[in-house]
Amino acid sequence: MQGVERLGRIRLSQSFFMRDFLHSEIANANGLRNLPDDPELAIAAGRRLCEDLLEPLQATFGRVAVRSAYRSCTLNDYGNAHDHNCASNERNYARHIWDRRDGRGCMGAMACIVLPWFADRREVLVYIMAHELRHLWQHRVPRGRRVWGARGQYSERDCDAYAIRMLREWRRAN
């Protein structure tokens, strides 16, 4: 137990400790352990994730809530076999399984996070995403074809109109 406690106290960055990434609802509900076989590799990968990605996100948007992060091979395999939205172990090496290198020999770490700053601004995000997706879609449509509201032309105004329409549909659905 002391080893587990010691592992959890390892600081990965200014704001994050290893214990922030070891929690698993699947493990808790099914009595499974979620500890790395190779703690040194998991710590190295976790440090890069925290220092290179999560700390800058937190500095920009405020608190970063970790929803799902490290998974042991046993836990990930169980989640995959029982339809808990886990990919195969081989697919998750150097992703959710931090203590294994991927097929190319690369180390990596992945975490599913929530940024409360974004969660508080859902409508704005829906509008921005619809606007930007409209731009992407317009560039894929052959130039002489008509697109919704554009009279065959590509304009910023049409992207805004499309985004407003999508936002209204999203509001009705939610």
Full-model pTM: 0.71
Q: What is the distance between the alpha carbons of residues 162 and 119, in angstroms, rounded to a whole number? A: 22
The alpha carbon dihedral of 56, 91, 66, 23 has a sign of: negative
pLDDT in tens, 98-150: 999 999 999 999 999 988 887 777 777 776 766 666 656 555 555 555 455 54
The ranges assigned to domains in the chain are: 2-118, 122-173
Q: What is the distance between the alpha carbons of residues 138 and 119, in angstroms, rounded to a whole number? A: 28
Residue with tokens 């076999």: 81
User: Has residue 32 got a pLDDT over 50?
Assistant: yes
Cβ neighbours of residue 90 closer than 8 Å, sequence gap 6 or more: 103
Q: What is the DSSP string of 97-128?
A: BTTS--TTS------EEE-HHHHTTHHHHHHH
Residue 174: pLDDT band with limits 50, 70, 90: confident
Q: What is the distance between the alpha carbons of residues 54 and 163, in angstroms, rounded to a whole number? A: 29
% of the chain residues with pLDDT over 70: 79
